[in-house]
Chains A and B, each alone.
Chain A
Amino acid sequence: MTVAIKVENLSKKYIISHEKKTASYETFSGSLIQTGRNIGNRIINPFRRSETALGKEEFWALKDINFEINQGDKVGIIGRNGAGKSTLLKILSRITEPTSGKIHINGRIASLLEVGTGFHPELTGRENIYLNGAILGMSRQEVKLKFDEIVDFSEVEKFLDTPVKRYSSGMYMRLAFAVAAHLESEILVIDEVLAVGDAAFQKKCLGKMDDVSKVGRTVLFVSHNLTHIGKICSKAVYLEGGEVICSSSLNVAISKYIERDINGFEMAFKPLVDGAVRLQSVSVLSKDTKGVFLSTFNKELVIDVEFNLRLELNCVSFHLGIDTLLGVRVTTIDSKFNCFELEQLMPGVYKLNISLKDMKLMPGRYSISKFMIRDQSGEKACFLNNMVAFDVSDDLYQAPVGTGIILGEANWSLLK
């Protein structure tokens, strides 16, 4: 397999200046005065360090990062805000230069750091397609060839000759994404462009990106939405504080990302308080050595919740939510639905035992991400998020091959 992108010891430094308190841009006169002052200081005190150096601070957005991406890989770049994802993309797209290090790129690279870059509000949809195409690096000929496809995808045919400033934001986004989606390049770099637009639009875009990746093109995709990344990517680079924590398969990278308590997602339980309830512990059947709760595939899932109630409540019911790693809700269980409702609950310490018999979670990592106590009026006495994670293990290799969240139980029959 050939390497599409090879990043070697890449670093990027920004200088943060603390002198400017009001003006966000340096002024020419300001720098003249500063220079004058420095010269003055030099004359008065030639051995003191220059004053400007004191007000400036170095900030390493990327620190000596290394990774390789093979041709045809779909790689998600994950990490919290400020981890250096955007800086990395900017360097890859040649918008800004690295401070040191190298990137070898094999293939034409197209980057989409923003949807609709360069769209001019006064120009019509048709004109903007050509303009945006050229800005993204397409030739007029190329745009002409793909024009109908772009228009089809964007669904704005009726308004092609209307200035885009009169478009609804949805139409605008669709048109902008449509142009970008038809870029021909071996490597496609995409920054969080799906954060906007409605669900239908996002789905369409993801579908398009999936098509793109099927033709064997290399895709680099940044998103905060792990579900989106999960839909497209098979590998991931996890950045943290400007360094690569791991560059591997998607699941490994995401587990690492989540292990580092990134989403406020806890591996070990910490007591939580909400209103009149103090949650003392949440546990799942047994504990493994690393402190991760473990449940076995195809066995009953048992969850214990210990809480301290400080108020008297009436007509109490309990709710609990289980999520996947990517934040997709697997199930919400509601005690009221299971005919478990308490007329009165006095203050005190309680231990709630929940046993799920027919929940066949596939092996993998899940989280108990919601716990709620409701009382009579339907008001939440307690609402807690992201409490604890647990693994479903498959030591006996019973789980069928394949992916998914839940193992379905079915009756099969065959007729002829």
Chain B
Amino acid sequence: MTISKQNFQFTIEAGKAERHYWQDLWRYRELFYILAWRDISVRYKQTVIGVLWAVLRPLLTMMIFVVVFSKIAKLPSEGVPYPIFVFAAMLPWTFFASSFSDASNSLIGNSNLISKVYFPRLIIPVASVFVSLVDFIISFVILLFLMAYYSYWPTWHIVTLPLFLGLGFFATLGAGVFVASLNVKYRDFRFVVPFIVQLGLYISPVGFSTTIVPEKYQLLYYLNPMVGVIDGFRWAISGGSTALNSTEVLVSGVVTTMLCLLGVVNFRKAEKTFADVI
């Protein structure tokens, strides 16, 4: 780190770690890149087809969705080619699913670091969320090809995509950080997380449209922050031909903010004892 040598003084005191925390987080930003880079470069080592997995997985999942929901269940897709309709939703969902489970296991996976080196622990789950962002970008490129194949051109709506991506990112981060810190003390979350991810797929509008949810349950449904994110994605990619109402985005934003606050506050509180209990 490039710390000026003069007056680098500090005091270690019970309960006084707060003061340096956010400063340290900035100072250790390189560690953050490196941890993310490590996870990315390790992922496809010793695999035969390597990065191709990042392409194959979403493609195959999409095909299954097409067969099950479109061809067999014949669910409506609001006038958008069904593969694009599904893929646009799968982008944020896969991002959430993979980064949420990675983030929640990240602290335990790096327990050797936690018990031997100091750095702001928040770096670990955040870096793992960024790792999934790489997969997201690859999938996004696939989507572009898919759209070209169907000659489905985006409109100005597409520029709002980063906004929804941001919303999804923070929703994931909040949930991931929250569960990560709980996971250190209570290993039960190792079993809870895959369950949430599995169940979440059915209660999020990935294979179907939000419009088929009965009117009176809609508000309840919006409490799942990914509903707003997924519908937002669909809306931005389909150029406004799918429905998006401001309530769901708003609810999603509020829930996300709360998740992030809850996650970070809880994380900071638990962080002090990580090295002792992990």
Q: Is B truly associated with A?
A: yes
Asked if A377 lies at the interface with its beta carbon under 8 angstroms from chain B, I say no
B46 part of interface (Cβ distance < 8 Å) = yes
How many B residues touch A, CB cutoff 8 Å?
Answer: 43
* Smallest beta-carbon distance A231→chain B, Å: 25
Asked, given contacts A26-B186, A27-B186, A122-B46, whether A130 binds B2 with beta carbons under 8 Å apart, the answer is no
Contacting B31 at CB < 8 Å: which of A91, A107, A134? A134
Q: Are B14 and A136 in touch, CB under 8 angstroms?
A: no
Q: Give the contact stretch, choosing among A49-57, A98-106, A279-287, A379-387.
A: A98-106
Selecting from A76-84, A110-118, A256-264, A309-317, the interface stretch reads A110-118
A161 to B115, alpha carbons, bound, how many Å? Answer: 28
By CB atoms of chain B within 10 A, which of A26, A94, A120, A123 has the most? Answer: A94
- Digitize B28-39: 1 where CB-to-A-CB distance is under 8 Å, 0 elsewhere: 101100110010
Q: A212 in the interface, Cβ–Cβ < 8 Å? A: no
Are A103 and B11 in contact, CB atoms less than 8 angstroms apart? yes
Verify if A97 is at the interface (C-beta below 8 Å from B): yes
Q: Does B45 contact A (CB under 8 A)?
A: yes
* Bound-state Cα–Cα, A398 to B223, Å: 88
Contact check, B8 vs A120: say whether CB atoms are below 8 A apart.
Answer: no
Q: Which of A111-155 contact B (CB under 8 A)?
A: 111, 113-114, 117-118, 120, 122-123, 127, 130-131, 134-141
Q: Chain A 295-337 against B: per-residue CB contact (8 Å), 1 yes, 0 no?
A: 0000000000000000000000000000000000000000000
Determine if A21 is an interface residue (Cβ-Cβ < 8 Å).
Answer: no
Report if B41 contacts A (CB, 8 A). Answer: yes
Set of chain B residues within 8 Å of A108, measured between Cβ atoms: 3, 5, 8
A93 beta carbon closer than 8 Å to chain B = yes
CB distance from B269 to the nearest CB of A (A): 12
B43–chain A nearest beta-carbon distance, Å: 9
What class of interface size applies to chain A in its complex with B? 35 or more
Q: A134-B30, A186-B5 in contact; A118/B188 too (CB < 8 A)?
A: no
Instruction: Check if A95 is an interface residue, CB within 8 A of chain B.
Output: yes
* Selected contact of B14 from candidates A26, A99, A104, CB within 8 Å: A99
Task: Give chain B interface residues in 18-67, CB to chain A under 8 Å.
Answer: 28, 30-31, 34-35, 38, 41-42, 45-46
B140 is an interface residue with CB less than 8 A from chain A: no
Partner of A98, one of B12, B41, B188: B12
Q: Report yes or no: A98 in contact with B14, Cβ–Cβ below 8 A.
A: yes
Q: A28 within 8 Å of B by Cβ?
A: yes
A105 surroundings in chain B (CB, below 8 A) = 9-12
What chain B residues lie within 8 Å of A103 (beta carbons)? Answer: 11-13
A371 to B77, CA, bound (A): 91
Is the Cβ of A27 less than 8 Å from the Cβ of B188?
yes
A105 to B15 CA separation, bound complex (whole angstroms): 16
B116 contacts A114, CB within 8 Å?
A: yes
Q: Are A28 and B188 in contact (CB under 8 A)?
A: yes
Residues on A with C-beta less than 8 A from B46 are 122
Write out the residue numbers on chain A whose beta carbons fall within 8 Å of the beta carbon of B187. 25, 27
Q: Residue B118 at the A interface, CB < 8 A?
A: yes
Which residues of B lie under 8 Å from residue A111 when comparing CB positions? Answer: 117-118
Residues of B within 8 A of A123 (CB): 38, 41-42
- Does B275 make an interface contact (CB < 8 A)? yes
Establish whether residues B118 and A122, one from each chain, have CB atoms under 8 Å apart when the complex forms.
no
A141 to B30, CA, bound (A): 10
Ordered nearest first, which 5 A-B pairs have the shortest CB separation? A28-B186, A94-B118, A28-B188, A134-B34, A103-B12
- By a beta-carbon cutoff of 8 Å, the part of chain B in contact with chain A is 1-3, 5, 8-15, 17, 28, 30-31, 34-35, 38, 41-42, 45-46, 110, 112-119, 182, 185-189, 272-273, 275-277
A/B interface sample: 27 pairs, CB < 8 A = A26-B186, A27-B187, A27-B188, A28-B188, A93-B118, A94-B12, A94-B17, A95-B114, A95-B115, A96-B276, A97-B15, A101-B13, A103-B13, A105-B10, A106-B8, A117-B112, A118-B112, A120-B38, A122-B42, A122-B45, A123-B38, A123-B42, A127-B38, A134-B35, A135-B113, A136-B117, A140-B30
With A95-B117, A101-B13, A138-B1 given, name 15 new contacts (CB 8 A).
A26-B185, A27-B186, A27-B187, A27-B188, A28-B188, A96-B276, A97-B272, A99-B14, A108-B5, A111-B118, A117-B113, A131-B38, A137-B31, A163-B45, A186-B5
Please give the residue numbers on chain A whose beta carbons come within 8 Å of chain B beta carbons, in ascending order.
14, 25-29, 31, 90-108, 111, 113-114, 117-118, 120, 122-123, 127, 130-131, 134-141, 163, 186
